[in-house]
Chains A and B, each alone.
Chain A
Amino acid sequence: MGEVLVVTSGKGGVGKTTTTANLGTALAMMGFRVILLDTDIGLRNLDVVMGLENRIVYDLVDVTSGRCRLKQALIRDRRFESLSLLPAAQTKDKTAVSPEQMKTLCEELRQDADYVLVDCPAGIEQGFKNAIAGANQALIVTTPEVAAVRDADRIIGLLQADTEMRHPKLILNRYRPQMVKRGDMLDVEDVNEHLAIELLGIVPEDESIIISTNKGEPAVLNVNSRAGEAYRNISRRIMGEEVPFMDIEGNGTFMNRIRRLLGLRTG
């Protein structure tokens, strides 16, 4: 029985789909059975980012409406045997499935997977409600920007009030240490003070992400990608491993701040 993790943010464009693709691929690289589920009906992107868009025959709505069996819709990744994608529908919209249907679907998916990663659309309406319906854990993605953090706060509030997922975890994406040093960007502590949830990882801003999503080759496959490295570390932390934070800034004080955040002794 696998875990169902929903990757959500509230704000659009902060990196949910990229995160879903990369974490899923990283976990599959380590041998886990992973199913990626795109719930952004009408604006599907996970298939593109994974490089699987040409192989879509059936989609999520086909499965929930009974037009096909789940196995027919799941697309197996050619790179990793244990990685599959259930794409969203593009010609429908988010009212095409209900939270109840999503719950049933996720129950079925987790029978044959170690991890089900649910890519949640932006917003707090039907799409969001669908995506969280079947999940038992939440990963909140935000960038270090006031607007994104505000939206993430809203999402955390909704999760804590309306679901059993009271302890979502945070992924801070597109972090730019130079801007933080200049005081032009929120730093980890600012974000943490506002959101007050456990920090799972920090992904640095990295041009290679744009290249990777365009090509459909997740960054974790590229050993030279710093973002890829961060995602690989995050996937290990999801498994429960204690992985030291990447030295994004290259100086000790940053590490000490992280240590303090995690409740570890500062060196």
Chain B
Amino acid sequence: MDTGGITYSGMDEIVKIKGTREGLTVLLDESADFQDLLRRLAQRIADSNGFLDGSAVSIDVGPRDLQPGQISSLRDTLAGNNMVLRRIIAGPRPRRALDGDTRGVETVGQQAAQAGFVSRRKRKRKRGQTAGGVAAEEASAAVETAEDRAGAMGKHDEGEDIPVIRYSLTTRQLRADVVSEEQTILVQRTIRSGQQVFYPGNVVILGDVNPGGEVVAGGNIIVMGVFRGVAHAGAMGDKQAIVAALRLEPSQLRIAGYITRAPEGDFSTLKQPEIARVQDGVVIIEQYQPGFDRH
């Protein structure tokens, strides 16, 4: 990464909570000890001051072999705060390699029989598949038979009918990206020449972006300051993305595949907040009106 760049990885947090289109997902660190994770999860719920109460969450446990009772432990930790465990998302079991395009939801416990039936059908399909390409892998969620699960977990836990979805490792990364499309990072400083902000979701900057600075976002870009650098909103193809700033004076502005630059000459700084968006195939810049409807 460019020495002047920014990394966002929140490295020390082993329990991350993300908001998605479908609700809340709790991401558990892949290498952390399960007991540590349980404790940290309880702590984070406690720290949320009631914000999380009553919510239904998915828990992404990463590529783990889930031990007997671990799902119950997770569910119990949540239940203590009136939270509901909707489902578990997990990566491939460490010893298994995946291939092919397999998709499916498996269920443990009381619905095991049904799931087994479903899984068997899917396994047949799996045999007919060729080893998938990268794209297929990325799109896939691998299935395990209920028998496998039962085997790994020992006895079925009582009353446990939490669906468990598994997926390939690359999918987890992709899922993180999908998750982040709805997410926003907040940058609380000025971006100087030569520095970049790269994020798959939205970017909000409390500060300026100086000429030579770059902001590339999968979502929208909002700058509470003067924007004089290069902006690329909707970088993954979203034509609805916008770029807004207190003063929009970009050296270059891109939204999805559309590109535009500042008008020649003295664009008498209007000193008012402006917003750039794509309309009828061109990038237009207009005065920002709060509450405007862009759809």
Taking Cβ atoms with an 8 Å cutoff, the residues of A that contact B are 150-151, 153-154, 156-158, 160-162, 193-194, 196
Query: B131-139, B150-158, B190-198: which one contacts chain A?
Result: B190-198
A150 touches B190 (CB 8 A): no
Residue of B nearest to A161 (CB): B4
| Contact among A157, A194, A196 with B194 in the assembled complex (CB-CB below 8 Å) | A157
Which 4 pairs between the two chains have the least Cβ-Cβ distance? A157-B192, A154-B193, A153-B193, A154-B194
B145 on the A face (CB < 8 A): no
Contacts of A154 in B (CB 8 A): 4, 192-194, 212
Q: Which of B211-226 contact A (CB under 8 A)?
A: 211-212, 226
A149 CA / B212 CA spacing, docked (Å): 11
- How many residues in B have their beta carbons less than 8 Å from beta carbons of A? 13
Contact of A150 among B5, B208, B211, B226 (CB under 8 A): B211
Within 8 Å by CB of B193, from A150, A162, A193, A196, lies A150
* Between-chain CB contacts (< 8 Å), 11 pairs: A150-B211, A151-B193, A153-B211, A154-B4, A154-B194, A161-B3, A162-B3, A193-B226, A194-B210, A196-B190, A196-B208
Q: What's the minimum C-beta distance from A246 to chain B, rounded to whole angstroms?
A: 28
B binding-site residues for A, Cβ under 8 Å: 3-5, 190, 192-195, 208, 210-212, 226
Q: Which of B5, B190, B193, B195 has the most CB of A within 10 A?
A: B193
A254 vs B59: C-alpha distance when bound (angstroms) = 61
- Distance in Å: Cβ of B191 to nearest Cβ of chain A: 8
In the complex, what's the smallest C-beta–C-beta distance from A234 to chain B, in angstroms?
24
Closest beta carbon of chain B to A190's beta carbon, Å? 12
Closest to A156 in B: B192
A157 and B195: CB pair below 8 A?
yes
* A158→B4 contact, CB < 8 A: yes
Cβ–Cβ < 8 Å partners of B4 in chain A:
154, 157-158, 161-162
Contacting pair B212 A153 (CB below 8 A): yes
Nearest chain B residue, comparing its CB with the CB of A152:
B193
Chain B residues positioned under 8 Å from A196 (CB to CB): 190, 208
Given contacts A158-B194, A161-B195, contact A153 B3 (CB under 8 A): no
- Expressed in whole angstroms, the Cα–Cα distance for A151 and B212 within the complex equals 9
For B3, the chain A residues whose CB sits under 8 A away are 158, 161-162
CB distance from A161 to the nearest CB of B (A): 5
Most buried by A among B3, B4, B211, B226: B4
**Chain B residues within an 8 Å CB radius of A160:** 192
With A158-B4, A161-B3, A161-B4 already in contact, the answer to whether A150 and B212 are too (CB < 8 A) is: yes
Further contacts, 9 of them, CB under 8 A, given A154-B193, A157-B193, A157-B194:
A150-B211, A150-B212, A151-B193, A156-B192, A160-B192, A161-B4, A161-B5, A161-B195, A162-B3
> Which interface residue of A157, A193, A194, A196 has the most chain B CB atoms within 10 A?
A157
Residue of A nearest to B3 (CB): A162
Give every chain B residue within 8 A of A162 (Cβ-Cβ).
3-4
Nearest residue (CB) in A for B194 is A154
In the complex, what distance in Å separates the CA atom of A150 from the CA atom of B193? 7
Nearest opposing residue in chain A for B211, CB measure? A150
Q: How far is the CA of A151 from the CA of B210 in the complex (A)?
A: 11
Quote the shortest CB–CB distance from B74 to chain A (angstroms). 39
> B210: which A residues are within 8 A, CB to CB?
150, 153, 194
CA distance A116 to B116 in the complex (A): 76
A41 to chain B, nearest CB (A): 22
Give Cα distance in the complex from A223 to B190, angstroms: 41
